Amino acid sequence: MKTVRQLLQTKGHDVWGVAPDTSVFDALEVMAGKNVGALLVLEADALVGVFSERDYARKVILKGKASKHTLVREIMSHRVVCVSLEHSVEECMALMTDKRVRHLPVLEEQKLVGVISIGDVVKAIISEQEFMIEQLENYITGTR
């Protein structure tokens, strides 16, 4: 069973974030430039929220707000679900499903050390399943 620590060793520890007083437009530019679906919202190195494409669609577009005049702090998700390096990938999948989130910041001793997405988790689970299937096929056929 793969852990978040192992997943980050493969994926990397890059974290993309913005300050709460960043305009939504500028945050969207960062997201587009980094090709990510969410940014962590950081204030003095403290995690204070998450800004996602979903927040933008539901809290800016549908409410008729202007991206250049709306601040990230006004629409970010304040309740941030986090995990540790020791969480299993399966636990993360269950947490993401239960809490309906697509991104999980990773904390080690209250310090931000990475972020994982639903895509990272699904890819890891599929990889584990493919490995298990291969091992079972080899066992059944008697090959190595």
Mean pLDDT over 98-113 rounds to 94
Domain that holds residue 101: 4-141
**AA identity, residue 121:** V
pLDDT of residue 49: 96
- CATH number of the domain that residue 8 is part of: 3.10.580.10
Q: Please, which pLDDT band fits residue 144 given cuts at 50, 70 and 90?
A: low
**6: part of which helix (H) or strand (E)?**
helix 4-11
Interatomic CA distance for residues 85 and 93, integer angstroms? 14
Mean pLDDT score of the chain: 91
- For the chain, how many structural domains are there in total? 1
Structure tokens at 94: 């269950």
Which residues are 107's β-sheet partners?
84, 112
Using alpha carbons, select from 81, 26, 17 the residue that is nearest to residue 51. 17
Which residues are 105's β-sheet partners?
115
Indicate the range of 25-39, 55-69, 97-111 predicted with least confidence.
55-69
Alpha-helical (H) ranges within 35-143 are: 53-56, 72-75, 89-99, 118-141
Indicate whether 132 pLDDT > 80: no
Contact 5, 86 (CB under 8 A): yes
Interatomic CA distance for residues 50 and 105, integer angstroms? 9
